[in-house]
Amino acid sequence: MNLKAFSSSFITKFSFLKRALGNKSFRLLDIGAGNHSATKAKTVFPNCEYHGVDMERDYNNSEADLKLMDAFYEMDLTKLNFTTIPDNYFDAIQIAHVIEHLYNGDEVIKGLLPKLKSGGYIYLEYPGEKSTRLPSMQGSLNFKDDPTHVRVYSVKELTALLEANGCKVLKGGLRRNGWFIMATPFRIIKTWVSGKKLQGNIFWDLLGFAEFVWARKN
């Protein structure tokens, strides 16, 4: 795996899937399928059946990315109309850095859970409450750095939501990837040497910008 091509968010959520599903074939529903998500998922899981969901099909996706998608659902999640996505079909759902952009992200999660098979997994990741107290920085270090962020969620809230809707929460808390924490000084130096401006996401793992919840459907 080329770590330069992956964010710590992708590596973290993939690590949970890797431990749970290994190299076997499985069906993945990826909520927020822009930024070459299909290519990244297929690099780690070449045998997965990839279904993507986003508001725009071409959001930072090339034709090569789109060809790797077995299905794509173009929709506004806030409308809560998920009828085009098959029920009881997916082995895993990933929702990383999406719900903070949705005023009704809790209802979106509830609406998507019927798409997950019994025994299937769901991974949620989002800026946590701690992000509201971090310094402001280009590339988002404080929650309000991104004007499209509309709601702060918490592990406690999402755990209660998942457990009330037939899931068992296996793990949750601050998302901190050890590899990226150790790499922080080198990423800073590399950015300076290249003449670029430091981005807030370099410090996400070190400072605990994001939270995650990992659960299995009963």
Encode pLDDT of 50-87 as tens digits: 999 999 888 889 999 999 999 999 999 999 999 999 99
- Return the biggest CA–CA distance within the chain: 50
Read off the pTM.
Answer: 0.93
CB 191 within 8 A of CB 198: yes
Of 54, 49, 45, residue with least CA distance to 15: 45
HSE of 59, CA atoms in CB hemisphere, 13 A = 16
Domain of residue 79, CATH code: 3.40.50.150
- For 84, the domain range is 3-217
Number of domains in the chain: 1
Q: Per residue in 191-203, pLDDT tens? A: 999 999 999 999 9
Residues 6 or more apart whose Cβ sits within 8 Å of residue 65 = 36, 37, 38, 39
